[in-house]
Amino acid sequence: MASLLMVAVTACGGGGATESKGEGTGGGAATAAPAAKQSEAVLRISPEDGAESVKTSGALEVFAEKGKLTKVEVKDDEGTKIDGDISADGAAWIPSTHLASGAEYTVHAEAEDADGRVAVKDTSFTTLTPANTFIGHYSPEDGAKVGVGMPFSLRFTRGITEPDAVEKAIEIKTDPPVEVEGHWFGNDRLDFRPEEYWKAGTKVTVRLNLDGVEGRPGVYGSQAKTVTFEIGRRQVSTVDAKKLTMKVERDGEVVKTIPVTTGAPGSATWNGKMVISERYEVTRMNGDTVGYEGEYDIADVPHAMRLTDSGTFIHGNYWGGDAFGNYNASHGCVGLRDTRGGWDKKAPGAWFFDNSLIGDVVEVKNSADAVVAPGNGLNGWNMSWEEWKK
């Protein structure tokens, strides 16, 4: 009985040993599967992993050798992705924008070789923290409602020697869409406008992606900000220096005709399209500041609105007597009858002030002076579209 049991047990084990000589599926030693072949694609990322004080432009590049890039993902320390493009041949990727300063970035890259095998590489680096920076002071203010002539104007705290890099870092979107172009006045001011006055009701969004832009050697932008503003009703007022009148036109209709006085002989008012850039309920006007030394110093000019950087205003005038509509008596400003202290809201100066926005247009014609320079105030409308885009 014991002998029979031993045979049965032996038979059970012996059957497995016999099958192992064939397909190897029995209880014998298994044959090891061949190791997967590594991808021949080689990834090269610049800067090297762990690099510090990396330049914000021109330093980041990803290359694939013996294969093609299939994915490149670059993120900053807040998880924001950096846009870029893989070349048509799959050999290279470069960012489409500059990097921010003083930020840590991670790079994840993938490439495939001719047999579809994937190579992966991950690195990180930190950009430089600049010793010298610049910003752009802008107008209009964020959230403002402005007139149809208002450009988006930036005045930089340092002279810019790399204007293309700075302009590329400013994105403007409008609703409804309209083409908007920038124009430089010198090396420290950049204005943006459409070909014609803005359409009433247009909403404008400006993205200032200046952080990390090298505006001049060793001087980097430090702004990352979004600014929005809205265009109000269309108001364009036309001053006739010969007829001594101003017609206020709103949304295609003349709503008021106001008698005015403009620059007297020898100090005529500029001709041309001028945009209201500042508004003051009351301000001091001193001739010493604009080349008329000792000729006037009025401490309480009511309802004053700036038209040029050189000192042209349209303002209330309580001292002009019967000049309004009769003769030109100012030192170059456009004067409207008003009261001292501006108490009479029905006076032309007060009415016009209360019905005007920063960005409204005042156009002067038939004056003895030349057309105002486009950069003297926010007055780029005195340039053709072709000149503006140069």
Start-to-end Cα distance in the chain: 110
With b for 16 or more beta-carbon neighbours within 10 A and e for fewer, the 163-202 pattern comes to: eebbbebbebebeeebebebbbeeebbbbbbbeebbeeeb
Question: Which structure tokens are listed for 135?
Answer: 């910003």
Contact 77, 118 (CB under 8 A): no
Which residues make Cβ contacts (< 8 Å) with residue 24, sequence separation at least 6?
A: 30, 31
The rounded distance, in Å, linking the Cα atoms of 237 and 323 is: 20
The rounded distance, in Å, linking the Cα atoms of 117 and 380 is: 58
CA atoms within 13 A on the CB side of 140: 28
Please give the radius of gyration of the chain, using alpha carbons only, rounded to the nearest integer.
36
The rounded distance, in Å, linking the Cα atoms of 319 and 152 is: 36
- State yes or no: is 333 an active-site residue: yes
The rounded distance, in Å, linking the Cα atoms of 375 and 37 is: 67
Q: Kindly state the DSSP code that residue 84 receives in the 8-state scheme.
A: E
For 89-107, give the DSSP string: TSSEEEESSPPPTT-EEEE
| Torsion of Cα atoms, 206 then 83 then 50 then 103, to 10° | 10
Segment (H or E) for 187: none
Selected catalytic residue, list 98, 183, 303, 333: 333
Please tell me the total number of residues recorded for the chain in this structure: 390
Selected catalytic residue, list 98, 183, 315, 331: 315
Q: Kindly state the DSSP code that residue 244 receives in the 8-state scheme.
A: T
Contact 267, 389 (CB under 8 A): no
Question: Which structure tokens are listed for 141?
Answer: 């203010």
CA atoms within 13 A on the CB side of 54: 24
The rounded distance, in Å, linking the Cα atoms of 322 and 318 is: 10
- State yes or no: is 12 an active-site residue: no
**Any idea which residues carry the catalytic annotation?**
315, 333
